[in-house]
Every structure is written in C-alpha cells, then in structure tokens.
Amino acid sequence: MSESKNLHEIGKKEESGILPALVSALKNDLGPALEEIEVKDVRIGLAYTGVLLSENYGGVACTPLYEFSCCPALGFAGFLKGKTADKLLELSLSKNPLEAAVGIATANALSHMLRDMEPESFPVSNADILDLVKPEDKVAMVGYFGPLIPRILKITRNFTVLEKREIDSPKTRILPSEKAREILPASDVIILSASTLANRTFDELLSLRSTAREVVLLGPSTPLYPAPFFKRGITAIMGTLIIDPWTMLTVVSEAGGTKKLHKCCGEKIAFQNKKKLG
C-alpha cells in the first residue's frame, strides 16, 4: 500500500470513530445554540473530571491519570471557564487523554440537556447489567469495576477482567489489557469501561466483539446519548445522570469516586438498544 493511500485509510478510520461521531451528532442536534452555552466551571479531580454548563447541566468523565508517565498538567489551565460548550466539546477529539476527558465530560453534560429538551428520543431502560448475564455466558470486563465483580461471579464463573493496572484480587481472573484480542472475540457479554473513550481504545476494543450478544458501555463517564453508540453495536449504555451539578463539582474536587457521585449528586440511568446487531 502506498504511503498516501495508507494515510488516507488512517484518516478515514479516525473520522468514522466513535468520538468524531459523538461530537458531530451533538453539534447537529444542538445546532447554533451550542455556541451560546457557557462553561461555568471545570474541575479535574483525582478520580473524575467535571464540567458545569449554563442552565446548571453537569457531566463527568474519568480522569485518566494512569495514562501519563510524566506531569499531566494542561497548558491552557485557567482559560476553560467562560468558554462556550462547542470549544470544550472539540477537546473530545484530542489525543491528550486529559483534554479528551474534559471534552467527554462536556458531551455528558450536553447529553443531559438534550434529554430534557427531547425526552421522547431518550427512552430509559430499567435493566441492570446483571439482568444481561446468563450462567452459561463467558463474560469479559474491560476495566476493573470492583463492586460489580462479586455479583457477576455469583452468576457465572466464566469471567475475565482486562485491566492496565496491577490489581490484587485473588478470586478474580485478571489479565493485561493486551490480551483483549484473545478474550473478547470468544465472549458472550462484554462490559467496556467508558474510560476507553478518553484513552482512545474504544473503537479497537469494539471491533473485537465478534458475536457477543451484549456489549455494554458502563460507568459515570458514559455519555448518555445512545444513538451513535447503538449504531456501532453497543447494546446498552449505563451511566450516571448528574442531578446536582454544584455538589458534583465539590465531590470531584475532593477526589470523590463513583460511590460518592451516586450518593451525593447523581443517579444511575440506562438505555438499551432494541435493534441489536447479530
């Protein structure tokens, strides 16, 4: 393959990725109004990054500190507050995971706004992730969701966690993330951490789904905007609706995690794809 053709294919692949699709869909739905939505505050905590928009809409994304081997400081710190939402949304496309987290948190906040504007376009599901797992299933989890693991193991023992970090959990089969190509194609249920968006591994991991019956995007970082995810084969997205954005900013600033978000300022919310891919 010639160099020019190879670069064209790479560019085409990036354009068709989930983050460009998400940004494009939000821009299309919100239109010119996106340029009028002001960013009231941005907090980058140890566990989560939070964004507060005008009209009191907030969103979060996992802070990907583990992606850095050096100081992750942002060069434009001090200049995010007061910008318009379209500018921060564009950060979703950054190759810097910390910048991408700010953009994804913005996308999450915008998805909350859209849901209030067009509730009929966001039919909520009452399904819990455990409802999607059967005893005979092979389940793969990308990202370590500690509280969920014992509950899955009560349903099936055919369970593998793929994780970048070294985690001591003797009763759980934990393999390095690099083993995804071996594990995911043979899985019936795949649980993807929404942190795969900021670290830009989502598209590659999703391409390994093979014939998985369920592919779930999970965690507070999940943008609550189902359409572009369902189009790519995600069968359910399960995230967190921020109901008290000002408290969210405090929780994020004080290094609060998922439990604190759900206890103090958010609630779980899910959407299921009724037209699953085969």
Going along the chain from its start, the domains and CATH numbers come out as: 3-121 (3.30.390.100), 129-240+268-272 (3.40.50.11590)
pLDDT at residue number 266: 97
- Looking up tokens 């064209």, which residue turns up? 8
pLDDT at residue number 8: 39
Dist CA 99 CA 172 (whole Å): 33
pLDDT at residue number 96: 87
Residues 6+ apart with CB under 8 A from 97: 64, 67, 68, 198, 199, 200
What pTM was computed for the model? 0.88
Dist CA 274 CA 255 (whole Å): 37
Residues 6+ apart with CB under 8 A from 262: 240, 268
pLDDT at residue number 73: 59
CA gyration radius for the chain? 18
- Divide the 278 residues of the chain into consecutive groups of 10 and give the mean pLDDT of each group: 41 69 95 94 95 96 72 63 94 91 96 91 91 97 91 95 81 90 97 93 96 96 94 95 97 96 96 73
Bridge-based pairing state of the strands 57-62 and 48-53 = antiparallel
CA 155 vs. chain centroid, Å, equals: 25
Q: Which two tokens stand for residue 113?
A: 């706004």
pLDDT at residue number 15: 55
